[in-house]
Amino acid sequence: MEVITILIPIAILLALAFIVGFIWMTVKGQYDDLETPAMRILLEETDNTIKKEKK
Partner 1 sequence: MSTCIHCDEDINVPIYSSEDTNHINPFCCNGCLTVFNILHLKGLDQYYQIKNNSGIFKRRSPVESKTQKFTYMDSPEFISEFSYQNLNSETTIEFYLEGIHCLACLWLIEKLPEYLEDVHISRLDMNRSVVTISLNTGGKFSNIARELNNLGYKPHPLKANQTSSSLKTQEERKMLLKIGVAGAGAGNIMLYAISIYAGAEGSYAKIFNALTVIFAMPVLFYSAIPFYQNAWNAIRNKTVSIDIPISIALLMGAFFGIFNLITGVTENYFDSLTALVFLLLLSRYFLGKIQQNGLSASDLNFFYEGDSVQKKVGETFVEMHPRYLASNDIIKISLNQMIPADGVILEGATLINNSLLTGESIPENSGPGDKVYSGTLNLGQEILIRLEKSPDESRLGKILKQVESGWITKSSIVDLTNRISKYFVAAVFILASALFLYFYSQGKIAEGIERAFTLLIVTCPCALALATPLTMTRTLSRAAKLGIIIKNNEVIEKLSKLKTVFLDKTGTVTYGNLKVIDMKSLCASSLPLPEIIISLENKSTHPAAVALREFAQKSGAQKVHDVANYREVMGKGVSGNIGSQFFEIRNGKIFEDKNIIAKYSLEDQVRPDSKKAVNELQNRGLDVVMISGDQKKIVDEIAGELGLKGENIFSAVSPEEKLAMIANNPRALMIGDGANDAMALSKAFVSVAVLGSLDISLRAADVYLSTPGISNVSKLVDISRETMIIIHRNLTLSLVYNILSVYAAFTGLISPLVAAVIMPLSSLTVLFSTIIGTKKLNRLLKVHVNNQKEQKWKS
Contacting positions for partner 1 (CB under 8 A):
1, 4, 8, 11-12, 15, 18-19, 22-23, 26-27, 29, 31-36, 39-40, 42-43, 46, 50, 54
User: At residue 6, what is the residue type?
Assistant: I
Contact 31, 25 (CB under 8 A): yes
CA dihedral 25, 29, 32, 38 (to 10 degrees): -70
Toward partner 1, which CB reaches closer, 6 or 32? 32
- Give least dist CB 46 to partner 1, A: 6
- CA 1 to chain CA centroid, Å, is 35
Toward partner 1, which CB reaches closer, 6 or 35? 35
